[in-house]
Amino acid sequence: MNDELLHLKNLGKTSAQWLHAVGIHNASDLRRLGAVGAYRAVRARGFRASKVLLYAIEGALLDVHWNDLPPGHKAALLGELETFPTRNKS
């Protein structure tokens, strides 16, 4: 099977499996939800993903290594994560 997510920077087998489990199967799905939405969906499904997954998804969308995201960009993602609408706080 040709998994489009595995061809994106930063995403490996486990992160791709988590994304598939929440209905994200390609880059278009990922772009539509955005990094914060996709990360929230993965966490809501019960996967114990760290914040690195959030950065990895954002890096995948921008085609940069997650560690190369500027500190301010990472902080903005965390801020968005805090304000992102959710039904139950975890």
Q: Which of 63, 57, 47 is nearest to 81 (CA)?
A: 57
pLDDT of residue 53: 98
pLDDT of residue 89: 47
What is the mean pLDDT of each successive set of 10 residues along the chain, which is 90 residues long?
86 96 96 96 96 98 97 96 66
CB-based contact 85:59 (threshold 8 Å)? no
pLDDT of residue 87: 53
Q: Write phi, then psi, for 70 (nearest 5 degrees).
A: -60, 145
pTM of the model: 0.89
Distance of CA 12 to the CA centre of its chain: 12
